[in-house]
C-alpha cells in the first residue's frame, strides 16, 4: 500500500460520509476503487485484510440478494467529527498562541518606551515661572496646619 500523504482510515471515513450525504450505500469494491483513486494500492493479502478490517470497524455491512452493501456507522462518523474538531482546536490554539506572543511583544515595547520617556522627563530641567510660583504660594497659605490630636478619627478637616 503506497501513498505519499494521508491516512487510509481517514480517507475511508470521508468516503463513507460522502456516500451517506448522497444517501447511497457502498460496496467493498466501491471503497477499494475510491481509495485506489486516492493513491493507495492493494496488491497483497495483508493490504486487502487491512481494508476489510477498516470496513468492518467503520461501516455497517449487510448482505443483500446479490451483493454486500454497507454504510458508515455512527461510531465511524463520530470518529471523523472528533478528528475534525481536534484539528480545529489545534488551529485555534496556534492562532491564540500567536496573538498572545504579539500582545506580549507589544506590552514589552510599551514598557520599554515608558521607561525611556520617564528617564527623559527626569533628565529635563524643571523651570517654574513667577505665575506658577504665585499659584503654589497661594495654595500653601490657604492650607491650615492639621493637629491630629484635636480631631476624632474619621473626621475630615476642611482646608478652606
Q: What is the pLDDT of residue 140?
A: 81
**Residues 67-82, mean pLDDT to the nearest whole number:** 86
Q: Is the whole model's pTM more than 0.75, yes or no?
A: no
Count of other CB atoms within 10 angstroms of residue 94: 10
Domain segments of the chain as ranges: 8-72
β strands within 10-158, DSSP E: 59-63, 68-72
pLDDT value at 34 more than 80 = yes
C-alpha cell at 63: 448482505
- Are 74 and 80 contacting, i.e. CB atoms less than 8 angstroms apart? no
Q: Pull the grid cell for residue 103.
A: 500582545
Kindly indicate the confidence band of residue 71, based on its pLDDT and cuts at 50, 70 and 90.
confident
Instruction: Name the pLDDT band for 123 (thresholds 50, 70, 90).
Output: confident
The more confidently predicted of residues 153 and 58 is 58
Instruction: Find out whether 71 and 22 touch, Cβ atoms under 8 Å.
Output: no
pLDDT-derived band at 155, boundaries 50, 70, 90: low
* Residue that the C-alpha cell 501513498 belongs to: 3
Say yes or no to pLDDT of 29 above 70. Answer: yes
Residues 102, 87: Cα–Cα separation, whole Å: 23
Candidate ranges 72-86, 98-112, 115-129; pick with highest mean pLDDT: 98-112
What's the confidence (pLDDT) of residue 92? 96
Q: Residue 85 is inside which H or E element, if any?
A: helix 74-123
CA neighbor of 68 nearest in space, from 80, 76, 56: 56
Amino acid at each position: 500500500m503506497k501513498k505519499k500523504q494521508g491516512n487510509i482510515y481517514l480517507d475511508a471515513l470521508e468516503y463513507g460520509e460522502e456516500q451517506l450525504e448522497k444517501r447511497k450505500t457502498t460496496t467493498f469494491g466501491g471503497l477499494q476503487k475510491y481509495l485506489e483513486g486516492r493513491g493507495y494500492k492493494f496488491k497483497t493479502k495483508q493490504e486487502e485484510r487491512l481494508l476489510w478490517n477498516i470496513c468492518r470497524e467503520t461501516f455497517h455491512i449487510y448482505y443483500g440478494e446479490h451483493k454486500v452493501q454497507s454504510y458508515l456507522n455512527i461510531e465511524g462518523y463520530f470518529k471523523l467529527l472528533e478528528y475534525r474538531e481536534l484539528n480545529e482546536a489545534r488551529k485555534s490554539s496556534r492562532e491564540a498562541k500567536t496573538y498572545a506572543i504579539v500582545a506580549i511583544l507589544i506590552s514589552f515595547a510599551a514598557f520599554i518606551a515608558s521607561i525611556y520617556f520617564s528617564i527623559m522627563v527626569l533628565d529635563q530641567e524643571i523651570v517654574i515661572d513667577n505665575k506658577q510660583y504665585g499659584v503654589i504660594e497661594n495654595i500653601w497659605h490657604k492650607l491650615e496646619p492639621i493637629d491630629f490630636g484635636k480631631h476624632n478619627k474619621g473626621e475630615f478637616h476642611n482646608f478652606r
